[in-house]
A and B are shown apart, each in its own frame.
Chain A
Amino acid sequence: MINNKINSKYKIKGLSIIDNSKDADEEFFSDKKNLKNLENIIRESLEINNKYDIEDFDKIKRGQMAFFNYLTNERVRLEKIVQFFTQKIKTKIDYSNTTKELIALKAEEVSELKEILLRKITTDESTLQQNLSSIFNKAYSSTKKV
C-alpha cells in the first residue's frame, strides 16, 4: 500500500524489478530524473531527512576540519622541535658566544673598570668624599643650639 502511494507520487518510467536485461537498466539509469525520483523514494521510505539546519551543518564542517587542523598544527610543532634540537642547539654548541675564555676576558675588563672608578671616587676632591664629610660634620659638630 505504501509502495503504491510512493510510486504514484514519483512517476518512474521503465522501472521493472522482474526485467533483468542490461539494456533496460542502462536506459533507466541514463535518465537523470529517474535517478532523482528513485533517491526520493528511498529517502521517504527510510525517513531520512534531506535537509540539515545551518547549525548542524556548521558543526559537521567544523568537526571535519578540526582533525585536519590538529594534524597540521602537530606537524608544525614537531618540525620546530626537530629544527631546535638538530640545528639551533648544534650551532650554539659549536659557535657559542659564552665560552670560558670569553667569560674570563670579560671578568678582567670589569675588574679594570672597577679600579678606574674607585681611583676617581676615593680622591679627596671627589664629590663622594665631599658629601660624606658634610654628613659627618653635621652629625658630630660642636656648635649645636640648645
Chain B
Amino acid sequence: MKITLLLTLSCLISLTGAAIAAEIIQIEGSTTVGPIGGAFAEKFMQMHPDVAITVKKTGSGDGAAAIVDGRCDIAMMSRFMKAKEFENAVKNGIFPVAHVVANDGVCVIVHPSNPVKELTTAQVRDIYNGKITNWKQLGGPNLKVVSISRDTSSGTYETFNKLVMKKEKMAGNTEYVNANPQAHARVKSTQGAIGYVGLGFLDSKVKALKIDGVMPSRKTIAKGIYPVSRPLFLFTNGYPKLGSSVHEFCTFYLTETGQEIIESKGFVPLTEY
C-alpha cells in the first residue's frame, strides 16, 4: 500500500513538473452564452492544437465576478456589466472591454395547448406581478396561470426584469428555475404555465407568443423589432493584444465559421454572412 501511495505521489509531482506547455484560455460565466463558448472552443482547439481552452458555466454574475478578480481570461455574460462590477474591476486594476458576439431574444413561452397567441408587454408584466391569475382574463381557457421565472442571478432574468417587468417586483407565487432547459421542461409539462427562454430553446413542445404583435425570430431579433432582444457579450481585461489567442477567440464570431456556429447553436449572428 505504501508503494502505491509513493507511486501516486511521484506521479502527481511529475505532473506538476511537466506543466505549462500549452497556452490556456480560461472562460467563465453565463449558461446562456456557454454553448457558444463551448462550441467556439471545440473549433478553436481543432484549428490551434497548442491552445487549451476551458469553459465553465455558472452564470453571468459569476462571470463578472471572475473577470473582476482576474480569475479568468474571458467572461461570458448575457447582460452588460453593472456599475458596481465596473467599479470593483477598476479598483483591482482591471478594465473590462465588451465584445458582442451574438444577439438573442428572450421568448415568452406557454404550453402548446394554450390558445392564447399574443400578449403585450403590459399583459406579461401583469401576469408576473400577479394582477392576472387566470388565462380566462386573457381570452384563454379557465386555467390558473403558473408563472415560471429564471433565478435572479441570471442574465436572462435581468433582461426580462428590465425590458418587460420595468423593474417591478414579481408576484410571490412565481417559481424560479435555474436554467433555460428547466424553464422549458416546466412549461412543456404544465398546461397553465408561462415562462421565458432564449431563442434557441423554442421547439414544437412549447409555443412562443407574439409580444406586442411581433413573433420572435432571427429576423425580428436581429433588427431589434422584437421587444425583448438583447446582445450576448464576452468581456476581457482591456482589449486583448492584437494577434494573441484571446484576441482571435474574441473576434472568432466575425469569421464565417463563427457565424455558422452561432446560428447552429440557436442564436442570431450579428451580420448576414
Query: Are A and B bound to each other?
Result: no
Q: Which residues of B contact A (CB under 8 A)?
A: none
Q: Which residues of A contact B (CB under 8 A)?
A: none
